[in-house]
Structure 1
């Protein structure tokens, strides 16, 4: 009788061969942990806040005093138009930092270590984006404070202002997924920043953020009417100035949801292949 001896399977190998499933609650916990890491980065590098602190002050004062009289006749009449425009511009351009910081962390090998950890794959990305919401809160607060100091008195009241602020931050969080994908795809942080600004500046200035589109050429008015930045600016004006939840608010929320649904999984998939 012949006896065949088989080598017992290693318990470690059997465990490693089974992929570890991360629950939804664990994914949220991992995301908040990574967001806390992002907040610590801001704490130890306060210069990361310079753009969201300085830009709304300079742009609000400069645009209001230079263009207020020419466009609206006086500063007080121009503030209801310019404050929502400056707010959208500041917060959206501030979301570009997400992609540049992500690229810098990947160049340093930080995300290679994250990938080896038993955490949700999306956590390092979503945590970084969630931490940047603090930057959006600061930019929004400073923009409204500067506006109030200059005489801005929105009829929407506290509820309208808070609703407008939340809408802008939700949309900025969604847009930051686009820049996160650019950060994963591109090889240099400077390239991410340069191309992002090259895309954002035409979108923000060729919109209704600073002037009435009716004064523009007809072909440009058509572009402004479909520009997503114009819809967001109009939505913020409806909420802050009138306290009105209109169709532009709905379109902005739908657009934000679509961006996250498309770019979040695409960014995570690309990140897993590239790291």
Structure 2
């Protein structure tokens, strides 16, 4: 069998393995999924009236804030889900299963490819669940066309792929699952420092460039533009550039660490 079909076959096997693990041990996925859902409910129902005063020129109501916050929470959901990927990769590296895989006649890269594809699928499912909660509490996107919905879905998948490769690298450098969780924590903290909850122009002047040009803000603003019809501006190409750059960086980092001598 040539190398490409072998790699596809082995990657599919590793994908099934990771999906079975996620199904048998759902506690990690549920814990990470509950974080953005709780944030959504907290900011809408506890802080919603106050926070809505900071958008729309001060004349917005709670429904406007729901529309504003949901795109940010969808991206935050992806960051939260990929923390589980870092923990899963670290467990594989420290519990001996990867050492066993290295002795078998399988494509070497299939181990991490299985993690990446499985994590992206879990991220898409998690985003769908959080989106369903958003719709249940009042989020609507009546003006988006089918093409804009497709572009929004593509952006979410691309963003999930980028963060997953970074999370895999974090899992590979971590000595244990706890360290992997701590190392990947910026993936869920960065949305708090973006335009997910309040507009960038309401932030202190010295902090605005950090919030505006970090990976989450351009992706959030692009998603808002696609779903709500707001101005996208330079955020579209900036979001794609961040996604492609992080994907390449994460891939090179992960494959380099994985191909090093076993620890």
1:50-91 deviation digits (Å, cap 9, x = unpaired): 035423332211111123211224211111210001111111
Asked if structure 2 preserves the Cα contact closer than 8 Å seen for 1:129 and 1:176, the reply is: yes
Asked if structure 2 preserves the Cα contact closer than 8 Å seen for 1:56 and 1:139, the reply is: no
What is the SS of the residue equivalent to 2:184? helix
Aligned-residue offset at 1:22: 5.8
Which residue number corresponds to residue 30 of structure 2? 50
Q: 2:47 aligns with which of 64, 67, 72?
A: 67
Which residue number corresponds to residue 226 of structure 2? 239
Asked if structure 2 preserves the Cα contact closer than 8 Å seen for 1:52 and 1:91, the reply is: no
Instruction: Name which one, 1 or 2, has greater alpha-carbon Rg.
Output: 1
Asked if structure 2 preserves the Cα contact closer than 8 Å seen for 1:164 and 1:239, the reply is: yes
Structure 2 unaligned regions, length at least 5: 53-59
Indicate whether 1:30 and 2:10 are aligned.
yes
1:139-193 deviation digits (Å, cap 9, x = unpaired): 1111211111111111215553443233123212211212211211121111111
Tell me, in whole angstroms, the C-alpha distance in 2 between the residues paired with 1:268 and 1:223.
Answer: 29
Indicate whether 1:190 and 2:170 are aligned.
no
Tell me, in whole angstroms, the C-alpha distance in 2 between the residues paired with 1:46 and 1:148.
Answer: 24
Aligned-residue offset at 1:202: 4.4
Aligned-residue offset at 1:109: 0.6
Which residue number corresponds to residue 212 of structure 2? 225
> Given the two structures, how large is their TM-score scaled by the length of structure 1?
0.84
- Structure 2 vs 1, CA of residues 56 and 182 (structure 1 numbering), >3 Å: closer, same or farther? closer
Tell me, in whole angstroms, the C-alpha distance in 1 between the residues paired with 2:145 and 2:39.
Answer: 24
Asked if structure 1 preserves the Cα contact closer than 8 Å seen for 2:166 and 2:249, the reply is: no
Which residue number corresponds to residue 241 of structure 2? 254
Tell me, in whole angstroms, the C-alpha distance in 2 between the residues paired with 1:263 and 1:176.
Answer: 8
Structure 1 unaligned regions, length at least 5: 1-20
Tell me, in whole angstroms, the C-alpha distance in 2 between the residues paired with 1:194 and 1:129.
Answer: 19
Asked if structure 2 preserves the Cα contact closer than 8 Å seen for 1:34 and 1:127, the reply is: yes
- Structure 2 vs 1, CA of residues 162 and 54 (structure 1 numbering), >3 Å: closer, same or farther? farther
Aligned-residue offset at 1:219: 0.5
Aligned-residue offset at 1:245: 7.5
- Structure 2 vs 1, CA of residues 242 and 28 (structure 1 numbering), >3 Å: closer, same or farther? farther
Asked if structure 2 preserves the Cα contact closer than 8 Å seen for 1:60 and 1:83, the reply is: yes
Indicate whether 1:115 and 2:102 are aligned.
yes
Aligned-residue offset at 1:131: 0.8
1:116-147 deviation digits (Å, cap 9, x = unpaired): 22222211001111111232122111121111
- Structure 2 vs 1, CA of residues 252 and 30 (structure 1 numbering), >3 Å: closer, same or farther? farther
Asked if structure 2 preserves the Cα contact closer than 8 Å seen for 1:121 and 1:268, the reply is: no
Tell me, in whole angstroms, the C-alpha distance in 2 between the residues paired with 1:118 and 1:266.
Answer: 24
Asked if structure 1 preserves the Cα contact closer than 8 Å seen for 2:191 and 2:216, the reply is: yes
For 1:76-115, list aligned pairs within 5 A: 76-115=63-102
- Structure 2 vs 1, CA of residues 248 and 22 (structure 1 numbering), >3 Å: closer, same or farther? farther
Asked if structure 1 preserves the Cα contact closer than 8 Å seen for 2:29 and 2:81, the reply is: no
Across the two proteins, how many residue pairs are aligned to each other? Answer: 254
